[in-house]
Amino acid sequence: MNTLPTDTRPALSILTEQERMFQEAVRDFADAEIAPRVMKMDEAAQMDASLLPQLFEMGIMGIEIPEEFGGTGADFFTSVLIVEALSRVDPSVATLVDVQNTLVINALLRWGSDELKAHYLPQLASDKIGAYALSEAGSGSDAFALTCRATEDGDDWVIEGHKLWITNGSEAELFIVFATVDPSAGYKGITAFVIEKDSDGFSIGKKEDKLGIRASSTTELIFNKVRVPARNVLGEVGKGYRTAIETLNEGRIGIGAQMLGLAQGALDHTLRYTQEREQFGRSISSFQGVQFQLAEMATEIEAARLMVYNAARLKDAGQPFLTQAAMAKLYASEMAQRVASMCVDLHGGYGFTKEYPVEKLYRDAKIGTIYEGTSNMQKQTIAKALMR
């Protein structure tokens, strides 16, 4: 029951031909290769390892990496299109791709030294998965209340502490880790480091058992006197807060794209179901009440699409996009929950079972208002911009 019907969206004139072709190729791949694995991965709470090489072969694990480093050499907007296309079929796979592109690669491209870029970008483009490690037990919305400590020791830094809720933790071999070099300096002590999985003293801890996006791993990271060479500092010592803030601002657009694709997938499934399901001698899609609900969902999805696309275009154009990114994430994530819930309702009792994919998409939608900045944090960002 996971095969999606022919997409019902109108042609998008705001996409270039190259963007449209890439998006369609990824959509076809998702329908053919990901859709048959979705429910099994969700039940096992584990990504199908055979999918990972295919994601690299498609060129979607290094979308913004320059061609000289083995990447696709596309722009941020293309990353957003790909995340949307994958989320339509499985938001878990989209999350893995999203973190790789909008957080890990984005941070390295912007803040990495020439040496770091030359060393790590080819790996991320070819076969290495990355993770972004900021959150801790006491630092969620207060992202800079870090206790993970970095101490300078000769030409190295020594990292000690724990990280929680790290996406891609099970699959990643490369981690961007934020630690404080001076707790008394507050956010001005935060520094970003690039750490490899096989570093002595580094280990993966507890894997979370989650409500949704279950195939996307979320883990604890443990640092027991992990030595990191000074060359692996990402950006400047004490300026890690800028790396975190600016990267997450861009990452929120990616979350908007995830929720957009999820909602579109739920609607596509529901359009097919309502046309096939008969009550009182006719398809339920012929009832005006159902038609109005479908129309409302399609309108909300299109509104979210325009907000997400606009924020991504602004980012690529070098224009201010902070407020637009917050608005896109806020609206798209809350919209996805509304749409997924309505889609379950329209499936009736079937929607409450795992036989139909809207049940999973409903569970997957919940995380959108939480990670990479809760809805309340997005509202705070928007309100501050209004009051300037």
Say yes or no to pLDDT of 144 above 80: no
Tally Cβ neighbours within 10 Å of residue 326: 26
- Are 254 and 371 part of one and the same domain? yes
Structural domain contains residue 33: yes
Say yes or no to pLDDT of 1 above 70: no
* Residues with a known catalytic role: 372
Last residue of a domain, one of 182, 214, 238: 238
pLDDT for 11? 41
pLDDT for 139? 85
pTM above 0.75, yes or no: yes
Structural domain contains residue 1: no
- Are 278 and 328 part of one and the same domain? yes
Read off the CATH number of the domain in which 231 is found.
Answer: 2.40.110.10
Mean pLDDT across the chain, nearest whole number?
Answer: 95
- Are 98 and 220 part of one and the same domain? no
Q: Stretch 158-181: mean pLDDT, rounded?
A: 98
- Are 256 and 317 part of one and the same domain? yes
- Are 287 and 218 part of one and the same domain? no
Structural domain contains residue 2: no
Structural domain contains residue 206: yes
- Are 51 and 74 part of one and the same domain? yes
Say yes or no to pLDDT of 317 above 80: yes
Domain count for the chain = 3
- Are 137 and 250 part of one and the same domain? no
- Are 246 and 354 part of one and the same domain? yes
pLDDT for 10? 42
- Are 146 and 112 part of one and the same domain? no
Structural domain contains residue 340: yes
Q: Stretch 17-41: mean pLDDT, rounded?
A: 95
- Are 381 and 295 part of one and the same domain? yes
Structural domain contains residue 4: no
pLDDT for 13? 52
pLDDT for 6? 46
- Are 216 and 346 part of one and the same domain? no
Tally Cβ neighbours within 10 Å of residue 307: 22
Q: How far is CA 217 from CA 126, 127, 132, 334, in A?
A: 21, 18, 13, 23
Structural domain contains residue 216: yes
Say yes or no to pLDDT of 3 above 60: no
Domain that holds residue 150: 131-238
- Are 230 and 256 part of one and the same domain? no
Structural domain contains residue 6: no
Read off the CATH number of the domain in which 109 is found.
Answer: 1.10.540.10
Task: List pLDDT tens digits, range 48-95.
Answer: 999 999 999 999 999 999 999 999 999 999 999 999 999 999 999 999
Task: List pLDDT tens digits, range 218-264.
Answer: 999 999 999 999 999 999 999 999 999 999 999 999 999 999 999 99
Last residue of a domain, one of 238, 262, 287: 238
Say yes or no to pLDDT of 32 above 70: yes
Last residue of a domain, one of 109, 128, 147: 128
Which tokens is 27 given? 């959509």
Which tokens is 297 given? 């969902």
Read off the CATH number of the domain in which 357 is found.
Answer: 1.20.140.10
Task: List pLDDT tens digits, range 120-140.
Answer: 999 999 999 999 999 999 887
Supply the angle between the helices 240-276 and 288-316 in degrees, to the nearest 10. Answer: 150
